[in-house]
């Protein structure tokens, strides 16, 4: 599977899919990688203020963790190159023009957008429509 760099091709082939779970972002001050591994984080990131975990809302509540807002994950099925230019800007601009915030995590094969749960269906339709415009 060769990663794609051409922006027009990337947009034409977004094929966004919405994951079934509801996710939250939790911060654990002074934590290190591996903390709360039982929550099976979808992602984690170490910052000076602590370890951020992206976990299901259910896991956060089972662990008694606080969070602000709930999110759905839209995964773009195109294998985008980590050196591709403009994809994040294009999709977040489209969502922003409709008042939808997007927190983006780029992984090795795909880009993943976390949008507010209440706007996830609209975000999915917008990205699907965006693909059709190319």
Q: Per-residue pLDDT tens for 27-74? A: 999 898 888 999 999 999 999 999 999 999 999 999 999 999 999 999
Provide, rounded to the nearest whole percent, the portion of the chain with pLDDT above 90.
Answer: 90
Structure tokens at 22: 């509801």
Residue 132 confidence (pLDDT) above 60 = yes
Domain ranges of the chain: 1-20+70-134, 23-69
Residue 110 confidence (pLDDT) above 60 = yes
Short-list 50, 57, 61, 58, CA closest to 25: 57
Fold for 1-20+70-134, please state it. Answer: VC0802-like (3.30.2130)
- What's 38's DSSP letter? G
Residue 134: which pLDDT band, with cuts at 50, 70 and 90? very low
């Amino acid at each position: 599977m060769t990663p794609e760099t051409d922006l027009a091709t990337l947009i034409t082939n977004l094929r966004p899919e919405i994951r079934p779970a509801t996710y939250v972002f939790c911060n654990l001050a002074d934590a290190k990688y591996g903390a709360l591994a039982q929550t099976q984080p979808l992602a984690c990131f170490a910052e000076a203020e602590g370890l951020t975990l992206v976990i299901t809302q259910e896991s956060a509540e089972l662990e008694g963790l606080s969070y602000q807002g709930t999110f759905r994950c839209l995964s773009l099925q195109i294998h985008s190159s980590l050196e591709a230019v403009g994809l994040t800007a294009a999709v977040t601009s489209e969502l922003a023009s409709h008042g939808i915030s997007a927190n983006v995590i780029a992984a090795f094969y795909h880009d993943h957008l976390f949008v507010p749960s209440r706007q996830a269906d609209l975000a999915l339709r917008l990205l699907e429509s965006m693909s059709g415009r190319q």
